């Protein structure tokens, strides 16, 4: 098949947007009938020409290197992120995957701010996967903002400096005498002015300064950062334009189903394919041998047809024999039976031990103990797992909705034995990820299938049931808590024993408690420990990994402790936090827990919700509070809940969050917090995964319900506390506390303490 198939893709590495707040139009996108060579498409699409790393820790030698060959200087390619046309239109590359979190708007906003660009004259394009050129391209862990804040500012400031120096040289005046605003360079003394577009070609020929030589803008002068800007893709989404992975279309493309055993990691022993191959529309069917890693490639049978439903239909005719011994004994019931005695025993691993808990017991006036549990969860993103792949002339080209493209490339290299240089990944917009698409097994499967049909593009679409049975789940866990109180209700001792899951003697991914878990460092006598149950269930990150489970358990238990001491949870928390100070960090390079920032969000949400003036219980209504620190962000929340005849509704939620000195896009930030609140409520009210002999019991939305309109809060009040700290991400910090705030509110309304998720109210509930 000719490489024109790559050029004819209707989605992929470069979907441009013009993000005007008034009028939004699309820049031209190659259509299936386009006649453009592959290299030109890739160069134009990814703005790879004139690649410069701006001394940001990326590949600085790429400026004016091979990628720029064939790109005239008049194109105004100032660096890997900024290109300016003669008419002044500014093109900014958005490098990180977009999963609805708004990063394709906020990162370009940072660049445009330092560039002094006119936002209404900015076009944004998605970057192709190219870690050497753009640096890490990763959407997870709320890392996009903190890891890109300074690099993107420097990208914009460096481009601005080139433009100013070009104008200064043309006019024969010192660059220090020039000012910039909205894409215009001015010289007050002579009254001259020019546009960025007029000097862009000359600027592109200059050598950029080193990062330490570039002066960044005074934040007091910010005019783009901190504004409520519309997401740049919104008009295209409203118009139904192709941008998601599932929208990818290539000439001659076949659709694939990858049939696997319902038991995770089962080996294929035998497959009868005659009936499959004889099914309508089927063009190919063949077994694929995995490499034993669920994160990369497990055994399966590839079925390719002219339409996806024909491939799915043909899979019903597959007769296969699987070795499913790997799943024996791995059942939720068995896990729970193993956990029960382990919770009563000392932890196998002591993660942290401060003071003398045993001695503290002898002097305690009260001893509170409780056990909490949360289940395995699946991400259930709206867009099904998919990837389009073409294997041609020994090279792979993929179109993938991936949160971590480099991880997918690494998986293909490992599983299929190809060179990284022979893999091109075009990052499409993602229809929801929540951490599922940080693991790129679908990319590896698509590449393996495409390798079996060289020259033919293949789109692999995974059914909802298949993905749910072969996910990378948020691990469940059990906690045994103990708190000791003196006569004044002060916490003198605290213990948290996690019974979680492990593989090969180590905690599973996203299932490890750390030594700084709250209230570590705030209680003199403390024990944090962990015991693992061996599992073969694959786990992975899910929005606010680990925090999304333990916050429910810890903040719910602390609510019990507060009430036992004759006060409410906010009062207990403020007492534990004490004076503002910063504790040691659990991770090198990250700031430790700051008690002052924690106090700030707690006091803010108490004020906005009117907590002190409200009765905590009023008939069928209750109010609950919770706080948590994760992913470098601080969030406190108050939830109002109403329980009527066993039915739960949430009229209002108040939130206060501290993610540093700047909220880049205030509109996007509001959406992030509201989405976190709704996501957390949905998890708490109805979601759980259970297993039977290595097989998922729940497989679709009927058994794993998402939050529907009737259970979403009627009002979500979002506030931010600004602090003198570098900006951090908002994808995760606001999710964990809403769950215990909800369960604490239910207790206030009904007197029923929720110690296990999902929430199941007893018959005596109001």
In terms of pLDDT, which residue wins out, 381 or 65?
381
Query: Over the range 288-319, which residues count as b (16 or more CB within 10 Å of their CB) and which as e?
Result: bebbeebbbbbbbbbbbbeebebbbbbbebbe
Say yes or no to pLDDT of 298 above 60.
yes
The reported pLDDT for the residue numbered 75 is: 60
Read off the pLDDT of residues 62-111 as tens digits, 9 standing for 90 and up.
222 222 333 333 468 999 999 999 999 999 999 999 999 999 999 999 99
Say which residues have a Cβ less than 8 Å from residue 587's Cβ, sequence separation at least 6.
none
The reported pLDDT for the residue numbered 212 is: 87
Other C-beta atoms within 10 Å of 378: how many? Answer: 22
Q: What is the CA radius of gyration of the chain?
A: 28
If we measure between CA atoms, which residue out of 116, 220, 210 comes closest to residue 163? Answer: 116
Say yes or no to pLDDT of 45 above 90.
no
C-alpha span between 512 and 347 (Å, rounded): 13
Say yes or no to pLDDT of 29 above 60.
no
Say yes or no to pLDDT of 12 above 50.
no
Angle among Cα 307, 418, 542 to the nearest 5 degrees reads 65
The reported pLDDT for the residue numbered 689 is: 99
C-alpha span between 498 and 348 (Å, rounded): 10
Hey, which bits of 165-288 come out as E strands?
Answer: 178-181, 184-187, 192-195, 254-259, 267-272, 282-288
3-state secondary structure of 537: coil
C-alpha span between 522 and 524 (Å, rounded): 7
For residues 573, 574, 577 and 578, what is the CA-based torsion angle, rounded to 10 degrees?
A: -150
Cβ atoms of 193 and 187 within 8 Å: the answer is yes
Cβ atoms of 284 and 454 within 8 Å: the answer is no
C-alpha span between 506 and 527 (Å, rounded): 20
Cβ atoms of 584 and 521 within 8 Å: the answer is yes
For residues 98, 141, 54 and 230, what is the CA-based torsion angle, rounded to 10 degrees?
A: 40
Task: Give backbone dihedrals phi and psi of 525, rounded to 5 degrees, phi first.
Answer: -110, 110
The reported pLDDT for the residue numbered 584 is: 86
Say yes or no to pLDDT of 33 above 60.
no
Q: How confident is the model at residue 28 (pLDDT cuts 50, 70, 90)?
A: very low
* 621-630 and 617-618 beta bridge pairing: antiparallel
**Peptide bond connecting 519 to the previous residue in cis, omega within 30 degrees of 0:** yes
- Computed over every residue of the chain, the mean pLDDT equals 91
pLDDT above 90 covers a percentage of the chain that reads: 86
- The alpha helices in 347-500, defined as continuous H runs, are 357-363, 405-416, 441-451, 464-469
- Which domains, and CATH codes, for the chain? 4-238 (3.30.365.10), 245-326+385-461 (3.30.365.10), 332-377+473-750 (3.30.365.10)
Q: Average pLDDT of 489-502?
A: 98
pLDDT above 70 covers a percentage of the chain that reads: 89
Cβ atoms of 654 and 717 within 8 Å: the answer is yes
The reported pLDDT for the residue numbered 588 is: 72
66-80, 120-134, 143-157, 321-335, range with the lowest pLDDT: 66-80
Read off the pLDDT of residues 230-274 as tens digits, 9 standing for 90 and up.
999 999 999 999 999 999 999 999 999 999 999 999 999 999 999
Read off the pLDDT of residues 321-363 as tens digits, 9 standing for 90 and up.
999 999 999 999 999 999 999 999 999 999 999 999 999 999 9
Q: Average pLDDT of 550-556?
A: 99
Read off the pLDDT of residues 431-475 as tens digits, 9 standing for 90 and up.
999 999 999 999 999 999 999 999 999 999 999 999 999 999 999
349-358, 551-560, 569-578, 588-597, range with the lowest pLDDT: 588-597
The reported pLDDT for the residue numbered 586 is: 67
If we measure between CA atoms, which residue out of 285, 301, 291, 304 comes closest to residue 265? Answer: 291
Can you state the angle between helices 666-686 and 547-564, rounded to 10 degrees? 80
- The alpha helices in 116-190, defined as continuous H runs, are 131-134, 144-171
Predicted TM-score (pTM) of the model is 0.91
Q: Average pLDDT of 537-554?
A: 98
Give how far the C-alpha of residue 198 lies from the chain's centroid of Cα atoms, to the nearest Å: 40
Q: Average pLDDT of 413-426?
A: 98
């Amino acid at each position: 098949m000719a490489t024109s198939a790559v050029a004819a893709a209707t989605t992929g590495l470069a979907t441009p947007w013009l993000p005007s707040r008034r009028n939004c139009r699309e820049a031209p996108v190659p259509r299936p009938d386009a006649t453009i060579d592959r290299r030109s498409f890739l160069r134009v699409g990814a703005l790879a020409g004139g690649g410069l790393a701006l001394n940001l820790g990326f590949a600085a030698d790429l400026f004016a290197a091979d990628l720029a060959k064939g790109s005239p200087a008049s194109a105004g390619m100032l660096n890997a992120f900024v290109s300016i046309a003669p008419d002044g239109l500014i093109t900014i590359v958005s490098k990180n995957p977009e999963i609805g979190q708004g990063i394709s708007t906020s990162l370009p906003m940072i660049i445009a701010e330092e560039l002094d660009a006119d936002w209404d004259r900015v076009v944004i394009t998605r970057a192709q996967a190219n870690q050497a050129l753009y640096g890490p391209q990763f959407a997870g862990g709320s890392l996009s903002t903190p890891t890109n804040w300074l690099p993107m500012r420097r990208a914009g400031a460096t481009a601005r400096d080139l433009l100013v120096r070009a104008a200064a040289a043309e006019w024969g005046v010192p660059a220090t005498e020039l000012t910039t605003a909205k894409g215009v360079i001015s010289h007050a003394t002579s009254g001259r002015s020019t546009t960025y577009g007029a000097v862009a070609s000359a600027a592109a020929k200059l050598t950029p300064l080193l990062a330490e030589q570039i002066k960044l803008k005074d934040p007091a002068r910010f005019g783009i950062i901190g504004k409520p800007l519309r997401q740049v893709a919104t008009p295209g989404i409203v118009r139904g334009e192709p941008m998601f992975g599932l929208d990818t279309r290539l000439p001659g493309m076949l659709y694939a189903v990858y049939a696997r055993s319902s038991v995770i990691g089962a080996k294929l022993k035998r497959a009868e394919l005659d009936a499959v191959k004889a099914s309508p529309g089927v063009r190919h069917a063949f077994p694929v041998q995995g490499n034993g890693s669920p994160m990369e490639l497990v055994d399966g049978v590839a079925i390719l047809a002219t339409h996806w439903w024909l491939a799915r239909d043909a899979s019903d005719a597959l007769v296969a024999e699987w070795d499913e011994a790997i799943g024996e004994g791995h059942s939720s019931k068995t896990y729970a039976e193993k956990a029960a005695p382990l919770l009563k025993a000392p932890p196998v691993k002591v993660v942290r031990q401060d003071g003398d808990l045993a001695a503290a017991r002898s002097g305690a006036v009260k001893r509170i103990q409780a056990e909490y549990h949360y289940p395995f969860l699946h991400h259930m993103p709206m867009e099904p797992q998919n990837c389009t792949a073409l294997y041609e002339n020994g090279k792979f080209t993929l179109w993938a909705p991936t949160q971590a493209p480099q991880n997918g490339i690494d998986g293909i290299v490992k599983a299929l034995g190809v060179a990284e240089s022979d893999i091109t990944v075009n990052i499409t917009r993602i229809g929801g990820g929540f951490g599922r698409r940080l693991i790129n097994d679908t990319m590896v499967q698509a590449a393996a299938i495409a390798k079996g049909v060289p020259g033919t593009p293949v789109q692999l679409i995974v059914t909802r049931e298949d993905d749910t049975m072969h996910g990378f789940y948020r691990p469940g866990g059990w906690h045994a808590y103990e708190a000791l109180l003196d006569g004044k209700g002060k916490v003198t001792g605290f213990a948290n024993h996690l019974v979680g899951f492990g593989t090969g003697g180590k905690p599973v991914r996203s299932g490890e408690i750390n030594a700084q878990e709250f209230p570590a460092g705030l209680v003199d006598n403390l024990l944090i420990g962990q015991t693992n149950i061996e599992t073969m269930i694959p786990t992975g990150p899910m929005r606010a990994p680990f925090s999304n489970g333990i916050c429910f358990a810890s903040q719910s238990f602390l609510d019990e402790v507060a009430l036992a001491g004759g006060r409410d949870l906010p009062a207990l928390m403020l007492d534990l936090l004490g004076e503002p100070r910063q504790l040691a960090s659990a991770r090198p390079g990250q700031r430790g827990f700051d008690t002052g920032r924690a106090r700030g969000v707690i006091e803010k949400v108490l004020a906005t919700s009117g907590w002190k003036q409200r009765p905590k219980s009023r008939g069928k209504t209750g109010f609950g509070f919770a706080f948590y620190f994760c992913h470098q962000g601080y969030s406190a929340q108050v939830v109002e809940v109403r329980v009527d005849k066993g039915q739960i509704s949430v009229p209002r939620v108040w939130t206060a969050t501290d993610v540093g000195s700047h909220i880049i896009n205030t509109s996007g930030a509001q959406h992030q917090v509201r989405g976190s609140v709704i996501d957390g409520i949905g998890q708490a009210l109805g979601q759980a995964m259970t297993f039977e002999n290595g097989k998922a019991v729940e497989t679709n939305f009927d058994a794993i319900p998402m939050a529907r309109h009737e259970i979403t809060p009627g009002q979500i009040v979002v506030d931010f506390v600004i602090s003198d700290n570098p900006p951090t991400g908002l994808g995760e910090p606001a999710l964990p506390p809403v769950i215990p705030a909800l369960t604490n509110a239910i207790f206030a309304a009904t007197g029923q303490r929720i110690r296990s998720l999902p929430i199941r109210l007893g018959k005596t509930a109001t």
